Chain A
Amino acid sequence: MAIYRSHVLVCGGTGCASSKSDLIKKRFEEKIKEMNLDKEVQVISTGCFGLCEEGPIVVVYPEGSFYSKMQINRVDRIVEEHLYKGRIVREFLYEESIADQKLKSLNQIDFYSKQKRVALRNCGLINPENIEEYIARDGYLALGRALTEMTPEEVIKVVKDSNLRGRGGGGFPTGAKWSFAAPNKADQKYIICNADEGDPGAFMDRSVLEGDPHAVLEAMAIAGYAIGASKGFVYVRAEYPIAVKRLEIAIGQAKTMGLLGKNIFESGFDFDVEIRLGAGAFVCGEETALMASIEGKRGMSRNKPPFPAVSGLFGKPTIINNVETLANIPQIIINGAKWFKSFGSEKSPGTKVFALGGKINNTGLVEIPMGTSLREVIYDIGGGCPNGKAFKAVQTGGPSGGCITADYIDTKIDFDTLTDLGSMMGSGGMIVMDEDNCMVDIARFFLEFTVEESCGKCTPCREGTKRMLEILEDITQGKAVMSDLDKLEKLANNIRSTSLCGLGQTAPNPVLSTLRYFRDEYEAHVLDKRCPAGTCSALLNYSITDNCRGCTKCVRQCPVGCITGKVKELHVIDQEKCIKCGACMEACPFDAIVKK
């Protein structure tokens, strides 16, 4: 194998790829060839580094130099200076890595140094399209050990002892799930990897599949061995083309090397994996709907029991695990249950990947031990809210979760603490909100999503969420009365207790939790017809203060001609005609226009 003196790692995750990291990689290759360095320097496309805010990301080893917000016209200089002459191009480095005049490598930066990477351990480090790089990181060692040195019962015992809980939402113990399916006799059993990631803002599963697809395949094979299944399906959204492509490559490589297929490690164990593409319906992340979709039926959930472990895909015993859950499995087999329990909280051991989004400086993906406080995630890793705005709340668990307010910012995050606060872990989306976010509007946004995504099978979810949305829309438009709030709460509780599947059961959560913590905001909308955050446009009025110098700029901007006034005199907005577009406020050079 050729040995290179330097590796240029270009992020090929969806985030960076959307800002043309593929062209950056191509230019690196061209320029490196031009300078005759192609035998010395290797260019590699990796999975997501996590700090998507700073993308496209390029990391150069052995120095570990972290070039952020790369542009194609910077490539040539990096090749000429850094790769050829060994001079790191400081002005292109990520800001924090040159603080204090001392160059920091990637893992010394705050964003990374506070993380603990288990599921993401290979993301941004290896080439996901090269199985050998995965093997170099002890890949398939866990499968090899399980097949040659352990019985299926022992494998289940390790996973059980580790107390790994499902990372897809509910936090059900994975080992227990496996042990339900193992004793069931059947001519065929199935392992399904649930990669139907649907929460708005969550993209950890995509990143694992893009950055480390073999880890998921290896874990599926281990699960197959544990419960006696010889066939696996990865159910992944068609809108994740990079993940699908890398999975296909990974499956092909694993088959070629005999790590999938017949008689793996000469143990007599066969395992094969196929990909099934989902069309992007949110409900298909629910396990019974997901199985219906794989069977070729319409994606609708059904009653449980029977549980999938007894009668799942095609009526056979089936285990469904989420991508991130699976990515933990090989590490647990290699390092043992005790190691896994050595970090995280007592009832939720291990780490969890969170997708930070919304009003936060470092948008991206972070993996932290369970039990880390919300404050550390939002301020130390996430860098706080942009423009010095005050942190107001964070929505966890997407449309199924709820919000956690600034009062609870020192909460240690794990499955149980979030549930106690009326939210949930969900898949790990964290949408940060600052003082400018209206909580009623946030609840309305998530409910709009669930109304769209309800499969329509059961009445509470189909009709109930729609009615809830109508009430919320009335509130944001100032048409609601106080009794509507009680109605909303009652309806929410009914939907929660009577819906068929998790989608409906959790759909009212954003409303209930905002009602719980921000009832005053709801009341301001209803009683005072006022939106305290200044978001709900129907409740806002633009007006001109005494700061107005009569420059007439706003008059020229107004699309409906509702501003009148003479030059050098105070102008007035006709509230009847105003459509509240805000164009005047942006145009005013004297900050004389306010919205309240």
Chain B
Amino acid sequence: MKSLDELKKIRDEAKKNLELRDSEKTTRVVVGMATCGISAGARPVLQSFIEEVQKRHLNEVQVVQTGCIGMCTYEPIVEITSPDKEKVTYIHMDVDKVKRVVAEHLVHGRAVKEYTIGYIK
């Protein structure tokens, strides 16, 4: 070990992995991962949420799974909850849509309307 900076670099890199164990985060991305969700392609959606959140250092965002929400026809379904904001439900998600949702919703706080359940109905 040569310097404090070298140590801090290692720390920042290692921190990314440990972030997951902080259960006090404020924004939650909930991916439906029941049989219906998985067969509709929820697994890559979940994975790409995790990667994108990681890449952009969105420390306050927690990505978790949940079971069947009950609207299997709209799977993969993703719900995003943030403090003081209404829950947003995205449907028919895929990897490309995830990128846009992360960039617009999670980074800038603007929901991507055309992917939400309200838009289709």
Which A residues fall within an 8 A CB radius of B?
Answer: 1, 3-7, 9, 40, 61-64, 84-87, 105-107, 125-126, 132-133, 135-141, 144-145, 148, 257-259, 264-266
Q: What interface size band does chain B fall in?
A: 35 or more
B31 at the interface (CB under 8 A from A): yes
Contact present for B67 and A105 (CB under 8 Å): no
B120 at the interface (CB under 8 A from A): no
Binary CB contact string for chain B from 11 to 33 against chain A (1 if under 8 A, 0 otherwise): 10111111011011100000111
B66 at the interface (CB under 8 A from A): yes
List the A side residues contacting B35 at CB < 8 Å. 85
User: Which one of B57-65, B80-88, B102-110 contacts A?
Assistant: B57-65
Contact present for A265 and B1 (CB under 8 Å): yes
List the A side residues contacting B8 at CB < 8 Å. 141
Contact present for B20 and A7 (CB under 8 Å): yes
Contact present for B18 and A64 (CB under 8 Å): no
- A140 — nearest CB in chain B belongs to which residue? B7
Contact present for B3 and A265 (CB under 8 Å): yes
Contact present for A138 and B11 (CB under 8 Å): yes
- A259 — nearest CB in chain B belongs to which residue? B1
- A132 — nearest CB in chain B belongs to which residue? B14
Distance in Å: Cβ of B22 to nearest Cβ of chain A: 8
- A82 — nearest CB in chain B belongs to which residue? B65
**Which of A40, A87, A125, A144 interacts with B7 by CB under 8 Å?**
A144
Main SS class of interface, B: helix
List the A side residues contacting B25 at CB < 8 Å. 62
Contact present for B23 and A257 (CB under 8 Å): no
Contact present for A258 and B23 (CB under 8 Å): no
Main SS class of interface, A: loop
Contact present for B1 and A264 (CB under 8 Å): yes
Contact present for B23 and A3 (CB under 8 Å): no
B46 at the interface (CB under 8 A from A): yes
Distance in Å: Cβ of B80 to nearest Cβ of chain A: 15
- B31 — nearest CB in chain A belongs to which residue? A86
Contact present for B1 and A1 (CB under 8 Å): no
Contact present for B47 and A265 (CB under 8 Å): no
Tell me, in angstroms, the Cα distance from A258 to B2 when the chains sit together. Answer: 8
Also in contact, A137 and B23, with CB within 8 A (given A148-B4, A258-B1): no
List the A side residues contacting B1 at CB < 8 Å. 140, 144, 257-259, 264-265
Tell me, in angstroms, the Cα distance from A535 to B17 when the chains sit together. Answer: 53
Contact present for B3 and A148 (CB under 8 Å): yes
Contact present for B4 and A144 (CB under 8 Å): yes
Contact present for B14 and A5 (CB under 8 Å): no
**Which of A62, A132, A136 interacts with B64 by CB under 8 Å?**
A62
Tell me, in angstroms, the Cα distance from A3 to B66 when the chains sit together. Answer: 20
Contact present for A1 and B17 (CB under 8 Å): yes
- A107 — nearest CB in chain B belongs to which residue? B23
Contact present for A62 and B47 (CB under 8 Å): no
Q: Ordered nearest first, which 4 A-B pairs have the shortest CB separation?
A: A86-B65, A64-B23, A136-B14, A132-B14
Tell me, in angstroms, the Cα distance from A115 to B34 when the chains sit together. Answer: 37
